[in-house]
Structure 1
Amino acid sequence: MMLGMGCVTGIQAQQRPNVVFILADDLGYGDLSCYGQEKFETPNIDRLAQTGMRFTQCYSGTTVSAPSRSCLLTGMHSGHTYIRGNIELEPEGQFPLPSETYTIFDAFKEAGYKTAAFGKWGLGFIGSTGDPKNQGCDTFYGYNCQLLAHSYYPDHLWDNDKRVELKDNTLDVQYGKGTYSQDLIHGKALEFLDNMSADEPFFMWYPTIIPHAELIVPEDSIIKKFRGKFPERPFKGSEPGSPSFRKGGYCSQFWPHATFAAMVTRLDVYVGQIVAKLKEKGLYDNTLIVFASDNGPHLEGGADPDFFNSNGIYRGYKRDLYEGGIRVPLIMSWPGKIQSNTQTDFMCSFWDMMPTFREIISPKSKSGNQEDGVSLVPLITGKKGQKEHEYLYFEFQEMNGRQAVRKGDWKLVHMNIRGKHPYYELYNLASDPSERHNVIEEYPEVTQELKRIMQDAHVESPDFPLLEP
């Protein structure tokens, strides 16, 4: 019987793994100790890498939140996917995924899985076609609006379509008092796992907002461990009484370096607790755990990615299509299926997650969307027949529009597309991974080939136009 059709027995359910996908927010390639971070440690995330596979050439969907998530959930690159920019809509939320979208949640539900998301959504306000419950998500708890997710002490969150008031988050919350949203959301995720059993497969998406600005954590032992450890440059941000306070502005922070280290450390603790809960419930051995970040490190709210070497050797930050803006950590751990302590330089991206998950849970199913990804199952399970990408394509609507395409070692970047003086840059990532030497004048044939790919990969969207002035 094809999975997802008719009744799924307990035996069949046990043969398919649970999936937990942890998505960090603006975590740079170099922000984990297993990827080179030296100023603090991430032992629990490192342990995932030790028990599974670490990817060194994984790319996010694009370089900012909503479109990167759209690529992840639909299996389409940013020249095809439905959401291609961060557009704020009233009363609270972003431009919605259309009703006909086929998401990862739909694929899991068709295969008989329980589905849940805990954290930041940003793909459609409550009641819209992009509402989590209208996109195949059984349970949602967290921020619907990614702009309001700039605050870690919000006045409300969402429990499915029910607004949850956080009345203790008064105007003094910038100093670490009240309800820290990520602790509350994390607790709800652990509750969800507590209610799962071995004969009921589940997919849990965990899109935390850590370590997105603002920089703030509760007053506990984690932050106390880091205060005084680093040189600091206080950040003056949004204060109570400001129109942007808790409405997208970032709070002031006297200890920005210490706070950033404490935030990533807190995320690492969360990851350890998720793994511990899976083991406690007897679910760990049959669970695929994926850890990634939605794009490169940000520069807002007092963040200092250069101090922490957050993008490693790579040039650029969030909103760039240079490697630092889109190359992200990816770790996959699956006991008995993925060999422990392995590393791969296979070139992949977020739109590979849809075909990968579909092959694992329901091999004969079809996406219903444009098929841009390739399944990573052969790679992660050590089998032959892994299909490779001919190219990877990226675009970004802001800053007059940007495009990038990577094919093999070559990378072409198109800048200032809608401006008066658009231009291209060409890099060879094998010899110049930091993209410091533009060699476009030396390789005209390579440039023309990548330009053609760039033109073919982009389909203009009326809602998110890239080429129109």
Structure 2
Amino acid sequence: MVGSCFRLMLAIALFVPLNVRAADQPNVVFLLADDLGYRELGSFGQELIKTPHLDRLAQQGMKLTQHYCGNAVCAPSRCVLMTGKHPGHAYIRSNKSTPPEGQEPIPENEVTLGELMQAEGYVTGAFGKWGLGGPDSCGQPLDQGFDRFFGYLCQSHAHSYYPSYLRSDRGRIELDNNPAINGHANFAKGDDRSDPKSYNQFKGTDYAPDRINAAALDFIRANKDKPFFCYYPTVIPHVALHVPDEDLKPYHDLGWNDPPFTKEGGYGYTPHFTPRAAYAAMITRMDQYIGNILNLLDELDLADNTLVVFSSDNGTTHLDKEVDYTFFKSVGELRGLKGSLYEGGVRVPTVVRWPGRVKAGSQSDYVSGFEDWMPTILKAVEAKTKAPANTDGVSILPTLLGTQQPERPFLYREFAGYGGQQTVRVDDWKAVRQNLNKSKTIKTELYNIAEDIGEQNDVAADHPDVLQKLERMMAEQHVKSNLFPLRAIDGR
């Protein structure tokens, strides 16, 4: 009943003509990388991969050093971002494909950040990978608060950077890839894996991220005189390792010992002759796309009135034969990768720029998460519409503006995938559970993140009072999901 009433109020608000910009009504640009690790930007300690535009963004704004994505993989992380609900309350709690195209859709009655921005008179656009509902579902973006969409609705479709088509609003456009490159293609029998030319079959002509970036730039140009919310969930650097050859040369010239990814045994995405160079080049190309957006904001004289956020949907992929996370030190001192609720899977590089409001060159270790962006952005634009009462976020606007705010009471995560996991963080204490869908026995680990950022020393036996408190919070924050159960807890 609450959700239905809230959507009715939103529908009424959307009939109000709010196309004229208020003098101080800021634009919002939310940039989201795909599988980018905590240490894969220069501003967060990366030494091998060049990210000049994002490093400049960090110099012009604030780095959030303890920011957590919504979950350990794509769809549930994006669900937290769009709905403002942590994973114990969110509808999507793991990836779940709905062939032939799309993932499990968020329900029609969910209230999204896009809808809330529309209610405030913002023109809304999403460009890149959606992952919260296929083309004929209630979850597709034009039914969830976005006026414009261009890119991939489906995560599996997004495994190829050279597909046959992309989605544009409710239709599709054909790309000049003949044939399209399957993101999981492999060598034919008899192909010579030692010959660089054998890898040409995994290269296409029409690079989808170029199209997506152009659509986002067109959206900003078209709406430069209106308040706009541009959500840019780029597909980079998620594998497959697809990147134009011209981007590879600067990294080839560094002379890295770069053994080919040959896909022996058939597992993984498409082969690549120089996977380290390809991965680095993909991130640098993503950086250039973001640079194009930042440069356009400058060109249109919009930068000073635009709140820009950059983050990642989860940590670096665990596919080490394709992405050499050890070579790049992708998560640095953190434990865990994509698919894990240890720090390396969910602590992500995050930067916020808002000239004149967020101090340039600043940094905050305030603990925050994706559920916080809904109330933070609404507060930043001085929205009359408030987030639904059943959301879980805390506005971190005071932190962004350089003032003190109380520490959040807790940050909770659960993930039905990769064996079933659960965590809660309170101050510097973090409780972790693993294998909740594999074992009937529940074991809770306890770490002090301030003293043990690598989560190497389980101190549960030494702090039974802390352990009991955090276990109680885990029980309180988990609402049973029939679609994405934690069987050891739910009794299934």
Fold similarity call, TM over 0.5: yes
**Does the CA contact (< 8 Å) of 1:16 and 1:360 recur in 2?**
no
Residues 1:150 and 2:164 are matched in the alignment: no
CA pair 189-16 structure 1, distance change in 2 beyond 3 A: same
Q: Describe the SS at the equivalent of 2:66.
A: strand
Residues 1:207 and 2:216 are matched in the alignment: no
Partner of 1:10: 20
Residues 1:188 and 2:207 are matched in the alignment: no
Residues 1:457 and 2:457 are matched in the alignment: no
Partner of 2:435: 416
Distance 2:263 2:32 in 1: 26
Q: Describe the SS at the equivalent of 2:348.
A: strand
Q: CA deviation at 1:175?
A: 3.9
RMSD (Å), alpha carbons: 2.0
Among candidates 260, 279, 287, match of residue 268 of structure 1: 287
| Alignment map for 1:76-87 (pairs within 5 Å) | 76-87=85-96
Partner of 2:411: 392
Query: Mean alpha-carbon deviation: is it higher for 95-104 or for 375-384?
Result: 375-384
Partner of 1:333: 353
Q: CA deviation at 1:167?
A: 3.9
Among candidates 126, 142, 148, match of residue 135 of structure 2: 126
Q: Which amino acid aligns with 1:10?
A: V
- Which whole-Å deviations, capped at 9, do the CAs of 1:32-80 have from their partners, x for residues lacking one? 0000001122111011111110010000001000000000011110001
Structure 1 runs not aligned, ≥5 long: none
> Kindly, what percent of the aligned residue pairs are identical?
44
Q: Which amino acid aligns with 1:201?
A: P
Partner of 1:349: 369
CA pair 318-369 structure 1, distance change in 2 beyond 3 A: farther
**Does the CA contact (< 8 Å) of 2:33 and 2:236 recur in 1?**
yes
TM (norm. structure 1) is 0.93
Distance 2:298 2:347 in 1: 31
- Which whole-Å deviations, capped at 9, do the CAs of 1:71-109 have from their partners, x for residues lacking one? 001111000111111000022100001000110101110
Distance 1:305 1:21 in 2: 26
Q: Describe the SS at the equivalent of 1:136.
A: coil
**Does the CA contact (< 8 Å) of 1:238 and 1:250 recur in 2?**
no
Q: CA deviation at 1:366?
A: 2.1
Runs of 4+ in 1 over 6 A off after TM superposition: none
Q: CA deviation at 1:9?
A: 6.7
Partner of 1:225: 250
Q: Which amino acid aligns with 1:284?
A: A
Q: Describe the SS at the equivalent of 1:119.
A: strand
Distance 1:133 1:399 in 2: 31
**Does the CA contact (< 8 Å) of 1:414 and 1:425 recur in 2?**
yes
Distance 1:41 1:150 in 2: 23
**Does the CA contact (< 8 Å) of 2:376 and 2:395 recur in 1?**
yes
Q: CA deviation at 1:362?
A: 3.8
- Which whole-Å deviations, capped at 9, do the CAs of 1:319-343 have from their partners, x for residues lacking one? 1111000000110001111111000
Partner of 2:73: 64
Q: Describe the SS at the equivalent of 2:204.
A: coil
Distance 1:171 1:53 in 2: 40
Distance 1:73 1:280 in 2: 29
- Which whole-Å deviations, capped at 9, do the CAs of 1:123-153 have from their partners, x for residues lacking one? 0011211011110110000001001111111
Distance 1:165 1:135 in 2: 24
Aligned positions, number: 457
Structure 2 runs not aligned, ≥5 long: 1-9, 182-199
CA pair 118-171 structure 1, distance change in 2 beyond 3 A: closer
**Does the CA contact (< 8 Å) of 1:125 and 1:145 recur in 2?**
yes
- Which whole-Å deviations, capped at 9, do the CAs of 1:201-235 have from their partners, x for residues lacking one? 00000000100011120121x21111153211211
Q: Describe the SS at the equivalent of 1:29.
A: coil
Q: CA deviation at 1:250?
A: 1.4
Partner of 1:299: 318
**Does the CA contact (< 8 Å) of 1:374 and 1:387 recur in 2?**
no
